[in-house]
Every structure is written in structure tokens, then in C-alpha cells.
């Protein structure tokens, strides 16, 4: 049995409304628990094992939520921003109410796999570079990526640019599409850390500009190809476990 919780707090955490709003809904008879109308906002219930219906809609409570989002370009990886749209704006209010936050970040113009979770332990594990959870990207770059570039990535790159100086750890790279001298290449890159603009800066140190960047995998968890940009879905426990496994490539 999960921890007992006040009904008004439970409904607020489900994103149904504020504490004052859900209290009004309860008093108006719009809420039932296990088929019985609820009248007291302070009544206790086991939220994970109770059938919660509000205005004819059934809600499922989970103590923790972990979401895969296909982040589109032009959206900030942040909890909130006064001027710009953030990834939290792409999710229903329930996820904010339950404490979901981005586990790591993608640049504003970078697309692809982003994890949002209310599980602080999981978030820390994905963000901590010492855990070495691999993140795999597909980068469209200007120019012809070479075997010498692959070897340089594999050895680790010394980054020294206007954003600072650091030694990037060895990274795996492979060519998916080879461009000619005047064309572009598509390169897959796997890193186990996440410095500021790291992938773009690594390519820049080799003389390439990144035209488009997309994260496609974390550990063994791949971005669901059925998810359009801006779409999301919750992860299963098995999928969460995939993020802790080496990608094997």
C-alpha cells in the first residue's frame, strides 16, 4: 500500500486544478473515489490504488512519472521562462504539478530525445558524467567527415574556444552519410558527458559547422520513431532500465 494522501492534494498533483479549485469541485460533487462520491477535501486515500474519477474522467496517480519527449527546435529546455516557450509547456499541467523536470538539457535548436522525470535519483544518474550514461546524436555537418576525424574523436579532443577550455572525453563517431568536398555529412556521435554546446564545439575544433543536431539515444533507449516533434509518452520501467545500459556500439 502506498502512502495515504489528502484528496485535494492528490487532485492538485494530478494537475486537475489548484488546491482551492479542486476543493470546489469536490464540494460540487464532481469527484468520486472507488465509485463513491467524495465530499471531504481532507479525506485520506491510497492514490495509487484508488479509482479516481473527476467530472466523468478517470485519472491514474503514480508516485513518479518519467516521460520521453521528442523535443522540437525552438523550445528551451527549462522549467519555465517568462518570454519563451519551454519543454514543460509541451506537457499537460499534471507533470509540472508532480515535479517532473528535464533530466539534462538540449540546446534550443537541438531536437530529439529528452527525458523529463519526477525521480530525482534517475535524473542525477542521467546527468552525472561520472555515471557515463552514453548519449548518442546525429549531426548534419558541412563538409566531408573523415577517418582522421573519427580517430580524433576517439582520442578525445582539447576544446579551446570562446566558451571556455576543457578536455572532451573520448567519443565514438561513425559516418552515416558521407558528403563530398562541397556537400554535407551525417555523423553519429556518442558522448558520456554534456558540456555546454559540447557536440557542436567538438565538430568546430575539427573545422566543421553543425547544420542540425538531434539526440537519438540515451544508453540503449532510442527515441520512439512514432513520436512526432513536440509529442511525448511515459516510459515503462523496462525502458527506464535501458538508459542505464551501454549501447554496445
Residue 159, SS3 per DSSP: strand
Check which CATH number belongs to the domain holding 106 and give it.
3.30.70.580
78/123 same-domain check: yes
The b-or-e profile of 185-223 (16+ CB within 10 A means b, else e) is bbbbbbbbbbbebbbbbbbbbbebebeebbbbbbbbbeb
Check which CATH number belongs to the domain holding 29 and give it.
3.10.290.10
178/224 same-domain check: no
126/225 same-domain check: yes
78/145 same-domain check: no
What pLDDT score was predicted for residue 100? Answer: 92
Q: How far apart are CA 9 and CA 75, in angstroms?
A: 30
213/226 same-domain check: no
Q: How far apart are CA 129 and CA 125, in angstroms?
A: 8
Find how far residue 207's CA is from the centre of its chain. 30
What pLDDT score was predicted for residue 17? Answer: 85
What pLDDT score was predicted for residue 2? Answer: 62
* Closest listed residue to residue 206, CA positions, set 162, 244, 153, 165: 153
145/214 same-domain check: yes
What contacts 24+ positions apart, CB below 8 Å, involve 232-235? 232/67, 232/68, 232/69, 232/70, 232/90, 232/91, 232/116, 233/67, 233/68, 234/65, 234/66, 234/67, 234/68, 235/66, 235/67, 235/68, 235/115
Question: Does residue 249 contact residue 190 with C-beta atoms inside 8 Å?
Answer: yes
pTM for this predicted structure: 0.84
209/178 same-domain check: yes
pLDDT (tens place) for every residue of the chain, 249 residues total: 467 999 999 998 888 888 899 999 999 999 999 999 999 999 999 998 999 999 999 988 888 899 999 999 999 999 889 999 999 999 988 888 888 999 999 999 999 999 999 999 999 999 988 888 999 999 999 999 999 999 999 999 999 999 899 999 999 999 999 877 668 999 999 998 888 899 999 999 999 999 999 999 999 999 999 999 999 999 998 999 998 776 655
Task: Please check whether residue 247 lies inside any domain of the structure.
Answer: no
Q: How far apart are CA 90 and CA 92, in angstroms?
A: 7
Question: Does residue 138 contact residue 186 with C-beta atoms inside 8 Å?
Answer: yes
212/160 same-domain check: yes
Task: Please check whether residue 126 lies inside any domain of the structure.
Answer: yes
Q: How far apart are CA 153 and CA 225, in angstroms?
A: 28
37/112 same-domain check: no
48/92 same-domain check: no
Question: Does residue 223 contact residue 215 with C-beta atoms inside 8 Å?
Answer: yes
What pLDDT score was predicted for residue 181? Answer: 64
* Distance set, CA 96 to CA 59, 144, 167 (Å): 16, 43, 36
138/214 same-domain check: yes
Half-sphere exposure of residue 12: CA atoms within 13 angstroms, side-chain side: 14
Q: Known catalytic residues?
A: 107
State the Cα angle at 39 between 44 and 48, rounded to 5°.
35
Find how far residue 131's CA is from the centre of its chain. 17
State the pairing for strand pair 31-33/158-161: unpaired
Based on the structure, what is the number of domains in the chain? 3
Residue 49 lies in domain: 5-59
38/9 same-domain check: yes
Amino acid at each position: 500500500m502506498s502512502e495515504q494522501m489528502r484528496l485535494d492534494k492528490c487532485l492538485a498533483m494530478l494537475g486537475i486544478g489548484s488546491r482551492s479549485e479542486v476543493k470546489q469541485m469536490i464540494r460540487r460533487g464532481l469527484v468520486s473515489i472507488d465509485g463513491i462520491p467524495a465530499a471531504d477535501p481532507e479525506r485520506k486515500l491510497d492514490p495509487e490504488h484508488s479509482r479516481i474519477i473527476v467530472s466523468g474522467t478517470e485519472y491514474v496517480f503514480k508516485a513518479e512519472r518519467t516521460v520521453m519527449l521528442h523535443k522540437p527546435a525552438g523550445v528551451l529546455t527549462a522549467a519555465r521562462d517568462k518570454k519563451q516557450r519551454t519543454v514543460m509547456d509541451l506537457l499537460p499541467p499534471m507533470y509540472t504539478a508532480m515535479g517532473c523536470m528535464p533530466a539534462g538539457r538540449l540546446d534550443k535548436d537541438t531536437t530529439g530525445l529528452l527525458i523529463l522525470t519526477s525521480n530525482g535519483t534517475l535524473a542525477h544518474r542521467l546527468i552525472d558524467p561520472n555515471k557515463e550514461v552514453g548519449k548518442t546524436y546525429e549531426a548534419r555537418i558541412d563538409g566531408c567527415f573523415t577517418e582522421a576525424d573519427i580517430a580524433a574523436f576517439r582520442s578525445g579532443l582539447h576544446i579551446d574556444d570562446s566558451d571556455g577550455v576543457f578536455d572532451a572525453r573520448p567519443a565514438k563517431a561513425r559516418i552515416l552519410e558521407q558528403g563530398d568536398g562541397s556537400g554535407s555529412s551525417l555523423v553519429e556521435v556518442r558522448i558520456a558527458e554534456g558540456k555546454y554546446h559540447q557536440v557542436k564545439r567538438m565538430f568546430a575544433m575539427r573545422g566543421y559547422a553543425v547544420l542540425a543536431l538531434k539526440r537519438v539515444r540515451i544508453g540503449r533507449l532510442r527515441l520512439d520513431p512514432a513520436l512526432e516533434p513536440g509529442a511525448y509518452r511515459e516510459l515503462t520501467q523496462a525502458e527506464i532500465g535501458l538508459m542505464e545500459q551501454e549501447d554496445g556500439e
